[in-house]
Amino acid sequence: MKILHITPSYKPAYLYGGPTVSVSLLAENQVKVGHQVTILTTTANGPADFPPSPNGETLDGVTVYRFPRWTGDHTHFSPRLLLWMIRNHQSFDVIHVHSWWNLVVLPVVLWFRLTSRTFVFSPRGMFSGYTVRSGLRMRFQKGLASFLLKTARLHATSQTEAQDLLTTVPEGPLFILPNFIPLPAPGLQRVPPTDGSETIRLIFYSRIHDKKGLELTFRCLAACSRLPWHLSVAGSGEPSYVESLKKLAESLGLSSRIDWVGFVEGDERFRLLQQADLFILLSKNENFGNAVIESLAMGVPVLVSDQVGAGEWVLARKWGWVVPLDEKQIISQMEEILASPDVLHSIGSTARLDVHQFYNDGTLIQSYLDHYRPAGLP
């Protein structure tokens, strides 16, 4: 099968967060089972764009075409990309479009609508109520999406994202499959404290942004200050916002109990997770949450908000705790967890085995390919 993925950015543009990882792993897993996979993208990489590759380059088995963009984040307008798509899209059996509300995706899906081309569409969190908070913009997007996505087969990574998507495009055929995530090497195991300390090692690792709930996390941890814990914050964000978080931590008397690790990627994040007992993500909105599953794959149980899409997995498989965004309830749950550290080890061991089995048995990639057929091959 010849598969084309169209996305505004592609690895190693990891500064754009989880979608960069998810799309690349999906493409690479399709190559592993014998398919010919092409990425059509821009040179987007924040303030320092990648060199163009208009003739294609091979990256981990995937053919990648990068075209220069005329506009920056987060519009990514690239006339040459659109021209390449118009000239070449008919040579592919299946086309999978990722993201929304930018000048890569909107012209592409308009072309497919006008030419009645079927395709798979993954919004990558762009249809959430948090992302689209203006009532006027929401009504406009709903009307536009209903028209442009008429020939699309919709893909959501969680029930949460599916609900957001069907609110906008209620008539679309839809399937739900989780993201691919990187797995730690089998020999990489969590490391218990070597100093005999009873301190619970907490970790947050994600893009540092207002929606990630770090202010709430700090306030709740401050209420649990009598219990032994230490938090590592791994990620990057706007310097002014990160500085405001550090000042909040100082005002709550938490500075000595928080390490600011900075941006981590690749195996570095798994080495960081080796030293953790509990992952925390109290996001206001997360269509999936790759870091949740990555932590579980390392054997680290999780405490997440009920606005995190991957929380569905956590609840169903009892891999940790899912809490509403209510400060009193979160504090109560934190106190219970921090007072019972033995529970963390037993949950983590089970979660690690479950996640590795799910991602290694070939079921997920076959499920994606099965859902591709109505959008391309008969």
Domains of the chain as residue ranges with CATH? 2-176 (3.40.50.2000), 200-359 (3.40.50.2000)
98-107, 151-160, 181-190, 236-245 — which is least confidently predicted? 181-190
According to the model, what pLDDT value does residue 130 have? Answer: 62
Average of per-residue pLDDT values in the chain: 93
Q: Do you find a cis peptide bond into 89, omega within 30 degrees of 0?
A: no
Q: In what order do the strands lie in the sheet with 36-42?
A: 53-59, 62-67, 36-42, 2-6, 94-98, 119-122, 152-156, 174-176
Strand partners, 98: 122
- pLDDT tops 60 at residue 378: no
Tell me the C-alpha distance between 100 and 8, whole Å.
Answer: 9
Strand partners, 65: 40
Q: Tell me the average pLDDT across 10-15.
A: 93
Q: Tell me the average pLDDT across 206-213.
A: 94
- Output the six-digit token pair for 235: 């990620």
Could you tell me how many residues make up the chain? 378
Higher confidence at residue 355 or residue 17? 355
- Output the six-digit token pair for 234: 């791994």
Q: Confidence band (pLDDT; 50, 70, 90) for 110?
A: very high
According to the model, what pLDDT value does residue 265 have? Answer: 82
Tell me the C-alpha distance between 47 and 1, whole Å.
Answer: 36
* Dihedral sign, Cα of residue 37, residue 42, residue 47, residue 49: positive
Q: 229 CB contacts (<8 Å, ≥6 apart)?
A: 199, 200, 201, 202, 221, 257, 338
Q: Confidence band (pLDDT; 50, 70, 90) for 111?
A: very high
According to the model, what pLDDT value does residue 137 have? Answer: 67
Are the C-beta atoms of 87 and 96 separated by less than 8 Å?
Answer: no
Tell me the C-alpha distance between 327 and 306, whole Å.
Answer: 13
15-19, 74-78, 300-304, 310-314 — which is least confidently predicted? 15-19
- Output the six-digit token pair for 269: 């994040």
According to the model, what pLDDT value does residue 198 have? Answer: 86
Backbone angles phi, psi at 323, to 5 degrees: -125, 150
Per residue in 257-290, pLDDT (tens digit) is 999 999 998 889 999 999 999 999 999 999 899 9
According to the model, what pLDDT value does residue 336 have? Answer: 96
DSSP for residue 70: S
Strand partners, 152: 119
Backbone angles phi, psi at 262, to 5 degrees: 90, -170
Q: Confidence band (pLDDT; 50, 70, 90) for 353?
A: very high
Q: Confidence band (pLDDT; 50, 70, 90) for 195?
A: low
CB burial string 288-300: b at 16+ within 10 A, e below: bbbbbbbbbbbbb
- pLDDT tops 80 at residue 229: yes
According to the model, what pLDDT value does residue 131 have? Answer: 58
Are the C-beta atoms of 28 and 61 separated by less than 8 Å?
Answer: yes
Per residue in 13-70, pLDDT (tens digit) is 988 888 999 999 999 999 999 999 999 999 999 999 999 999 999 999 999 999 999 9
Cα-only R_g, the chain: 21
Q: Tell me the average pLDDT across 77-101.
A: 97
Q: Tell me the average pLDDT across 146-157.
A: 94
- pLDDT tops 80 at residue 10: yes
Tell me the C-alpha distance between 122 and 117, whole Å.
Answer: 16
- Pick the closest to residue 323 from 283, 277, 273 (CA basis): 283
Q: In what order do the strands lie in the sheet with 320-323?
A: 258-262, 229-234, 200-205, 278-281, 302-305, 320-323
Are the C-beta atoms of 178 and 293 separated by less than 8 Å?
Answer: yes
Task: DSSP for 34-62, please give it.
Answer: T-EEEEEEE--BTBSPPPPEEEEEEETTE
Highest mean pLDDT, choosing among 86-100, 164-178, 346-360: 86-100
According to the model, what pLDDT value does residue 197 have? Answer: 76
Q: Tell me the average pLDDT across 350-366.
A: 90
Q: At what angle do helices 214-223 and 239-251 cross, to 10 degrees?
A: 10
According to the model, what pLDDT value does residue 376 have? Answer: 63
- pLDDT tops 90 at residue 238: yes
